[in-house]
Structure 1
Amino acid sequence: MPPHDSAKFVDAATQPETRGIELIGAGERHGRARDLFFVWAAPSVSILNFTIGATLVLLGLELWQAVLVVLAASALWVFPGVIAISGPAAGTSGSVITRAIYGIIGNKPVVAFTGWLIGAVFLALTWLASSFLGADLLAGMGLTDPVVVPIAVTLVISVLTVIVAVYGHALILRVYSWLAIVLAVIFVTVTAFILPQVDWSYHPAEPLTGVPLWSAVTIGFTIIASAPISYINSPDIARYLPRSTKPSHIIAATALGGALPGIVFTVVGALLATAISAEAMHAGIESALLGLLPDWLGPVLVIGVVVNTIALNGMTTYTSSMALQAIGLSIRRIPAAIVVGLIGTALTIYLVLSTSFLDAVNLMLQFLVIVSAPTMAVFVADVVLRRNRYDGVELFDEGRGGRFWYSGGWGIPGMAAVVLGGIATALCLSTEVWTGPIAEGLGYVDLSVPVGMLVSALVYAVLLRTRLGAHAGGITPPLAPPAG
């Protein structure tokens, strides 16, 4: 596909966006960095935050400990902000930009695996929340079929999500600011009814100390951190910004937009856990939450969850459709978005029929870091080491003589860093299904995220200085003038 053809693509909220990974010319750039704040805030006002916050208390943490964990893990939102600046620099999606890391051929399996796995997991998790809540709401109206109702809710929400993805960037930019405000009002109202029921003097029956305490702290950290480090698609949302946009503004808008709502409502989730029994939370935190609210507010919350789901998954489906193009499939962006939506719907229906919401969230978010921690770390390292110098035209040169052909099409430093970082992450991971030997040896302390990211970044930086890095073209020669 040609790098760009400005006559074919129009970025307007009133019509489907046909542009995919094609380059965005200077004359088509528009927008301000601060617009990104609301783009990331709308998906972050989520019932998943309530669930994750409650999990911290279920792990045995005291409230003040849970708050510190939330703040520490939320600081990782700076990483999606850092990689977002590569979008305006290159003028294309992140799934193309990473050719500079993994090579023309090597980038394809990495994007296919990370794009599909991360996209499918988040599509399924948030659709799952809406399915359970929507089914609870409809049960009050007499629709109680435990199979048909959740599946019907999932199908309706998935169709609306795909519509958002089809209309794409301009619609997301225009609508998400309003969605963020509406969602904030709904969740703040829900919070106002939760707070009077909070046990402010709450203490675990058996306060954790020593290794068990660090185990609970690190597992909680991993669950929360899995969200920000998974947003490797942030360059896709920022790529329309003028190249002259200050990188610091892009980083701040992206990081704060994602972090602030997450911090607030994850802490509320921890407080919520003191008002609900552990048995009720395991049976279904969404049902227990509705039981704390007045009758009129329950349906409003369900609507808010559905809106948040569409906001998050619309953006995920949008960016995942470009990942399909980046791996070399001859498919336009709109059909690709439909394919992504179908896969996410199928996974959601499977989860609806086979698991509880709380179990699905905790397990899938923890396993997600095996993929997301190393890929995010390497991307951040590349942006920093390259000083955000990316040439979009050269990124589309897929020939053997191209700059990013590297070693037979493979960027060995990037591939090695991701594989070794993934292994390190898995060795340090602690879940109910899998506990790595390092985590087990430390008493189930989960250091998967910091260790996995550190190993990946260090391996990448070191290998670039070896013959492998030199054979891959290195990173020191400038690819383009510095952005901004």
Structure 2
Amino acid sequence: MSSQTPAASQDFVDAPTHPETRGIEHVAPSERHGRARDLFGVWAAPNVSVLNLTIGATMILLGLEIWQAVAVIVAANLLWVLPGLIAIAGPAAGTSGSVISRALYGVIGNKVVVAFTGWFISAVFLALNWLASSFMGADLLARWGFADPVLGPVVVTLVVSAITVLVAVYGHALIIRSYTAISIGLLVIFLAVTAFALPTVDWGYRAPEALSGVPLWSAVTIGFTIIASTPLSYINSPDIARYLPRETKPSHIIAATALGGALPSIFFTVVGALIVTGLDGAAVDAGIESAILGLLPSWLGPLLVLGVMVNTVALNGMTTYTSSMALQSVGVPIRRIPSAIVVGVIGTALTLYLVMSTSLLDAVNLMLQFLVVVSGPAIAVFATDIVLRRNRYDAIDLFDEARGGRYWYTAGWSIPGMAAVLVGGVAAAVCLSTDVWTGPISEAMGWIDLSVPAGIIVSALVYLGLSRTVLGRFDETPAEPGTRAGRVAPAATAAPAPPAASPAAPTTEPAA
């Protein structure tokens, strides 16, 4: 058991004007606040995105008809229910998902899984979204006379990443308070873009070569995988919901999270699919983002670029915020704010590499497909565990890292959890179809990509079967109000609690 105890409530100021010093520490009942509906804006802001326009264009470039593309987009976005489901674990345990997952993988096994999934997924999404804003920002700078093909994207990336890290430093309260307003502002900008772009749509569009049989299913499943990778990647949803009162209805949390992510994603991905039907081959080759700018009046182009940057900050700010807690949960002795800065530096470095080595469309498609090998099994195991335990997690034992603790399992490893995520990952990989890697099953089926259903179904079944035989019944004791048998849910093990601060003064952290 960690020897540290939680800091008093006054040590943490969850206000949008104060940097948030809390990391993975348990959120006491007295510090819970907010409503489930606040989560809608949090998940809508990142998904009013130019990345969705790019992904939508990909559906048509794969050879799909408009109606087929729309069907794939809607079907893949139904998977937003999974981030909604796992979000309910946050209020139940009162801590981050990277700590709750100790119940899935064991104390030591969780460090390995979180170090890989938390950092890999976070770094990829930071880079993808910064990449989108850097290309569009550089294109706008080129139209204004600053045409350096390398320096332009680099400057935009550095500015956007710095603002992103600042959002992550201020943390939960700033995200909750500002993202609804950001969603509304972005919606206005992207609807204006849609209004000017739709007149160019070829509503009678037909694919140059109509697909049928195996080639059609190959295009459909590859498109499904690309779109599904986004909701499957949000295994951090419990981190955003953990401040909600424990009595908040799970159905409300699921609905606010799933609808906040799915509705704007469906709409603007469909818009991207429509826009590309009116573009010629040269415009597509120059880049979808550049082609969209070319369709807009001079006054709207800068607003779109500004919207892209704000959207990027919204998405990556939340990602950086949650991944900063992942670093703490694996045992690195670092406070949350320096951890957020480290995450930002890594994401910036990867973005700068991609800026100088690839196109946006190539990077998006390839990385999103590979993500499902990791994210699909991980979110499926988490969701299955929530159902098995009936969303009952003991915050006291989640912080007990001693041998013999409830989540120590076998030498610190949970056999069901580790086996499920590994077998599910292998199942996804052998069913994956990309330009770089095609699994043997996918190749045998004619490049049909079943990586998403294979990863989710196999990992869930393995976890369910082994949990029933190895772990026995799931009889968790709820951790409300944060104490049991005279014990108190500990603070983060990564660093001592900060000194108490006056409620009237901002709480800050020392520099890294």
**TM bracket (short chain):** over 0.9
**Cα distance per residue 1:411-453 (max 9 Å; x no partner):** 1100000000000000000001100000001111000000110
Which of 40, 45, 65 aligns to 1:62? It is 65
Of 254, 258, 273, the match for 2:257: 254
Q: Amino acid of the residue matched to residue 36 of structure 1?
A: L
Shift of 1:392: 0.9
Q: Residue 355 and residue 3 in structure 1: after superposition, are their counterparts in 2 closer, same or farther (change >3 A)?
A: farther
CA distance in 2, matches of 1:482, 1:81: 22
Residue 433 of structure 2 corresponds to residue 430 of structure 1: yes
Matching residue of 1:454 = 457
Q: One-letter code of the match for 2:62?
A: L
- 1:359 is aligned to 2:362: yes
1:168 aligns with: 171
User: How far is the alpha carbon of 1:481 from its aligned partner?
Assistant: 7.4
**CA RMSD, 1 decimal:** 1.2
| TM norm structure 2 | 0.92
The DSSP-based 3-state class of the residue aligned with 1:7 is helix
Report the CA distance shift for 1:194/1:58 in structure 2 as closer, same or farther (over 3 A).
Answer: same
SS at match of 1:453: helix
Q: Which SS does the other structure have where 2:81 is aligned? A: helix
Distance 1:24 1:352 in 2: 40
Aligned 1:123-202 pairs, distance under 5 A: 123-202=126-205
1:9 Cα shift? 1.3
Q: Does 1:4 align with 2:2?
A: no
Alignment of 1:277-356 (within 5 A): 277-356=280-359
Q: Which amino acid aligns with 1:421?
A: G
Separation (CA, whole Å) in 2 of partners of 1:3 and 1:23: 10
Given the alignment of the two structures, is residue 384 of structure 1 paired with residue 387 of structure 2, yes or no?
A: yes
Q: Which amino acid aligns with 2:155?
A: A
Task: Give the conservation status (yes or no) of the 8 Å contact 2:36–2:244.
Answer: yes
Offset of 1:140 from its aligned partner?
1.6
**2:477 equivalent among 453, 476, 479:** 479
Corresponding residue of 2:101? 98
Q: Distance in 1 between matches of 2:283 and 2:381?
A: 41
Q: Does 1:28 pair with 2:19?
A: no
Instruction: Please give the alpha-carbon distance, in whole angstroms, between the structure 2 residues aligned to 1:352 and 1:329.
Output: 30
- Give unmatched runs, 5+ long, in structure 2: 482-512
Counterparts of 1:419 and 1:112 in 2: how far apart (Å)? Answer: 15
- TM-score norm. by structure 1 comes to 0.97
Give the drift of 1:144. Answer: 1.1
Partner of 1:106: helix, strand, or coil? Answer: helix
Matched to 1:403, the amino acid is R
Q: Which amino acid aligns with 2:417?
A: G
Contact 2:228 2:452 in 1 (8 A): yes
Say whether 1:407 aligns with 2:410.
yes
3-state SS of paired residue (1:433): coil
Structure 1 Cα separation of the partners of residues 479 and 108 of structure 2: 26
Unpaired runs of at least 5, structure 1: none
With over 3 angstroms needed to count, the CA separation of the structure-2 counterparts of 1:3 and 1:220, relative to structure 1, is farther
TM-superposed deviation, 1:278: 3.7
Matched residue, 2:206: 203
Question: In the alignment, does 2:228 pair up with 1:228?
Answer: no
Code of the residue aligned with 2:128 in structure 1: it is L
Check conservation: 1:87, 1:239, Cα contact below 8 A: yes
- Determine the C-alpha separation between the residues in 1 that align with 2:338 and 2:5: 19
In structure 1, distance between residues paired with 2:459 and 2:148: 47
Distance in structure 1 (CA, Å) of the matches to 2:13 and 2:417: 34
What is aligned with 2:271?
268
How far, CA to CA, are the matches of 2:425 and 2:62 in structure 1?
25
Following superposition, the deviation at residue 7 of structure 1 comes to 3.4
Q: CA deviation at 1:482?
A: 9.8
Cα deviation, residue 4, structure 1 = 2.6
- 1:122 paired residue among 122, 125, 135: 125
Residues in 2 aligned to 1:20 and 1:96: alpha-carbon distance in whole angstroms: 11
The residue aligned with 1:107 is: 110
**Alignment coverage as a number of residue pairs:** 478
Q: State the SS of the aligned residue for 2:187.
A: helix
Distance, in Å, in 2 between the alignment partners of 1:278 and 1:334 is 46
Q: Which aligned runs of 4 or more in structure 1 are off by greater than 6 angstroms?
A: none
User: In percent, how many aligned pairs have the same letter?
Assistant: 71
Given candidates 50, 55, 59, the residue that maps to 1:47 is 50
Q: Distance in 1 between matches of 2:174 and 2:427?
A: 40
Distance in 2 separating the partners of 1:172 and 1:481: 26
Deviation at 1:275, TM superposition (A): 1.3
Amino acid at match of 2:326: A
